[in-house]
Amino acid sequence: GIISRRDLDIALHHGFNHAPVKGYMSRNLKTITPDTSIGEIESIMVTYDVGRLPVIRDNNLVGIVTRTDILRQRHADWDLGSPQQKIPQRKKPKSFLTKPQHLIPDLTWKLLTKLATSAEARGWNLYLVGGAVRDLLLTQEGEKVELQDIDLVVDGFHNSADVSAGVELGKALQAKYPQARLEVHGEFQTAALLWHNDPIFGNLAIDIATARTEFYPYPAANPEVEASSIRQDLYRRDFSINALALRLNESRQGELLDFFGGVLDLESRQVRVLHANSFIEDPTRIYRAVRFAVRLGFTIEPQTEEYIRYALDSGVYDSFFQGNERKAPALQSRLKTELKYILQADYWQSALQLLSRLTALRCLHPDLKLDSQLWWQIRLVDRFLRRFDPEHSLSHWQMRLEVLLSYLAVADRDRVAKNLQLSTDSITRLNTLNQVAEEVKARLEKDISPSQVVKCLRQYQLPMLLLLAATTCQQIRRLIWSYLTTWAEVKSPLDGNDLKAMGYQPSPLYKEMLDSLLSARLDGVISDNPEAAKDMLKKYYKS
Ligand code: CTP
């Protein structure tokens, strides 16, 4: 393996002084042999952004070549006037996206080029970064990418751009598109331009940030930031496929900045993290790795998977559940956002299984395990949701999450639900589920008539009934099913007006009379013929 000084610094910073180096070292290191040519060495260094290449002969380390060695060698070659060595036949990854305007809707492209011109006039470079570049590179010719979230980064031609460069560009853009709303976020100023239901752009968000570098004061914290170059800005990101930048300036427009082998990873369809401590610092990245892998049909690169497992096994997140009162947004609100993305996507089942295989559910709580029963329950609630909420008036992702959390002891559920900042309704449901389950069981376990089932279940709302159905025994589940499919729809054959017409004086007794009719109807004592209902009333109530 190999370990960089930066990895060591971060590990020490997070208190991993005694942790064995095997958790941090890169195993899939690039190596060369004594026969590798200089051209090939350069190409490896550039493609994979490595500055040191171990030289291996017969499985033994026999030397190391650094960037400085290569520079010296080149310099010596030039001094001696020797011919340039040929760059080897290694397949060069794509370094230009030719005609990005063919992949981006025309008006969006026009807007981006206007912004690039404003940046250039101020001595800045403008780059499209993050997911949009990834998606553009994955797009087939002839298709267009509907960009809704556009992340842009500005940096200076020679020095770092001023921290407020993003905001200045945002304001300039808003002057040209007054229908957009401008928001300025955070201490490290980022401008966001937002179009909502716009006749031209629909819903579009453009974020303009100044290139920055960031560091995490402690694991799972929010990062702190300072101004920097585009390269550093890309290095702070999660995966190589998300760390690509596309130059928008007119000169060299379409140039791809790929410092970390992102294009090759897109071609080999893998999610590869940029540095060893990434998951220690930001556990939401574990969920993001899973989301991208499943969504794009990629694999998680083996070393990246090892880093994930190492971060999880290190126990660094568990301390958050052991009374450590430090705020950990990456285990709270930000984790909820990732869970939401995953649990509301079509691919939620595969993603959840992959999270479970990686043991990543322990970021929610150390005891949470997707055992076969929980897996069955969570798919069950889905069947109920499809049947009883086809319009999606409930948050299906939240119901799935509630089933997941119902696996935990009540006190833990409460803590986790509050950590994740779930809605008050959700928290209450999780807290009262066991009590409701007991009450319902006590009332419905014996041989019981449909009217008694209705009386018991109608006090609960649909989300509680669905949660209960997924987590209770078969007998109760069947009753909930019958209640929701049939019995809840049954109406009393008469209403208040009918009672009045029959000569009964309006009084609180009406409710009791209508209830008795409903029960009789539910239990099959009377048919839905109003005459039968009237006969029954006359028998029991004097007008
Ligand atoms: N990012 C990161 N670490 C995170 C979240 C985000 O490094 N925990 C970076 C990535 O470079 C990412 C970019 O910020 O590409 C934008 O984040 P986001 O919009 O959440 O992701 P996208 O990659 O745009 O993915 P999606 O297509 O799902 O929007």
Residues 120-153 as b/e (b if ≥16 CB within 10 A, e otherwise) read bebebbbbbbbebbbebbeeeeeeebebeebbbb
Atom of ligand 1 nearest to the CA of 341: 28
| Separation of CA 237 and ligand 1 centre (Å) | 8
Residue with tokens 């842009």: 152
| Separation of CA 23 and ligand 1 centre (Å) | 25
Token pair recorded at residue 323: 């009374």
Average pLDDT, the chain: 90
State yes or no: pLDDT of 317 exceeds 50. yes
Q: pLDDT tens-digit profile of 152-207?
A: 999 986 666 777 899 999 999 999 999 999 999 876 778 999 999 999 999 999 99
Which pLDDT score, from 0 to 100, does residue 43 have?
85
Q: At what angle do helices 396-405 and 372-388 cross, to 10 degrees?
A: 150
Q: Measure the CA angle with vertex 445, ends 440 and 449; round to 5°.
A: 95
Q: Which amino acid is at 138?
A: L
Our measurement of the distance from residue 305's CA atom to the centroid of its chain's CA atoms, rounded to an integer in Å, reads 17
Q: Which amino acid is at 210?
A: T
| Separation of CA 290 and ligand 1 centre (Å) | 13
Which pLDDT score, from 0 to 100, does residue 77 have?
56
Among 237, 292, 308, the mutation site with the greatest number of ligand 1 atoms within 8 A of its Cβ is: 237
Q: pLDDT tens-digit profile of 255-290?
A: 999 999 999 999 999 999 998 889 999 999 999 999
Nearest CA, atom 15, ligand 1? 130
Q: Where are the beta strands (DSSP E) in 289-337?
A: 299-300
Residues 337, 157: Cα–Cα separation, whole Å:
36
State whether the beta carbon of 306 lies less than 6 angstroms from ligand 1. no
Q: pLDDT tens-digit profile of 401-424?
A: 999 999 999 999 999 999 999 999
Beta bridge partners of 193: 182, 206
Contacts of 452 (CB under 8 A, 6+ apart): 443, 444
Q: Are strands 270-271 and 299-300 parallel, antiparallel or unpaired?
A: parallel
**434-443, 446-455, 472-481: which has the minimum mean pLDDT?**
446-455
Nearest CA, atom 8, ligand 1? 285
Which pLDDT score, from 0 to 100, does residue 92 have?
63
Beta bridge partners of 209: 153
Atom of ligand 1 nearest to the CA of 284: 8
Beta bridge partners of 257: 245
Atom of ligand 1 nearest to the CA of 237: 7
CA 280 vs CA 189, 231, 290, 355, 359: distances in Å:
26, 22, 16, 16, 15
State yes or no: pLDDT of 146 exceeds 50. yes
Answer whether 150's CB lies under 8 Å from 207's CB.
yes
Which pLDDT score, from 0 to 100, does residue 408 have?
97
Answer whether 89's CB lies under 8 Å from 39's CB.
no
- Whole-model pTM: value is 0.84
Query: Whose CA is closest to 233, among 221, 241, 245?
Result: 245
Q: pLDDT tens-digit profile of 102-130?
A: 899 999 999 999 999 999 999 999 999 99
Atom of ligand 1 nearest to the CA of 151: 16
Nearest CA, atom 28, ligand 1? 131
State yes or no: pLDDT of 325 exceeds 70. no
Which pLDDT score, from 0 to 100, does residue 142 have?
82
| Separation of CA 240 and ligand 1 centre (Å) | 11
- 35-62: average pLDDT: 89
Compute, in degrees rounded to 10, the torsion defined by CA atoms 379, 329, 193, 291: -30
| Separation of CA 131 and ligand 1 centre (Å) | 6
What share of the chain has pLDDT > 90, as a percent?
Answer: 66
Confidence class of residue 438 from pLDDT cuts 50, 70 and 90? very high
What share of the chain has pLDDT > 70, as a percent?
Answer: 94
Question: What is the total residue count of the chain?
Answer: 543
Q: pLDDT tens-digit profile of 499-516?
A: 999 999 989 999 999 999
Token pair recorded at residue 90: 């290694």
Which pLDDT score, from 0 to 100, does residue 357 have?
98
Which pLDDT score, from 0 to 100, does residue 324 have?
59
Residues 179-207 as b/e (b if ≥16 CB within 10 A, e otherwise) read ebebeeeeebbbbbbebeeeeebeebbbb
Q: pLDDT tens-digit profile of 71-95?
A: 877 766 554 444 444 444 445 667 8
Which pLDDT score, from 0 to 100, does residue 427 have?
97
Answer whether 456's CB lies under 8 Å from 443's CB.
yes
State yes or no: pLDDT of 483 exceeds 60. yes
Q: Which amino acid is at 108?
A: T
Q: pLDDT tens-digit profile of 205-257?
A: 999 999 988 778 888 888 877 767 898 899 999 999 999 999 999 989 999 99
Answer whether 258's CB lies under 8 Å from 136's CB.
no
State whether the beta carbon of 238 lies less than 6 angstroms from ligand 1. yes
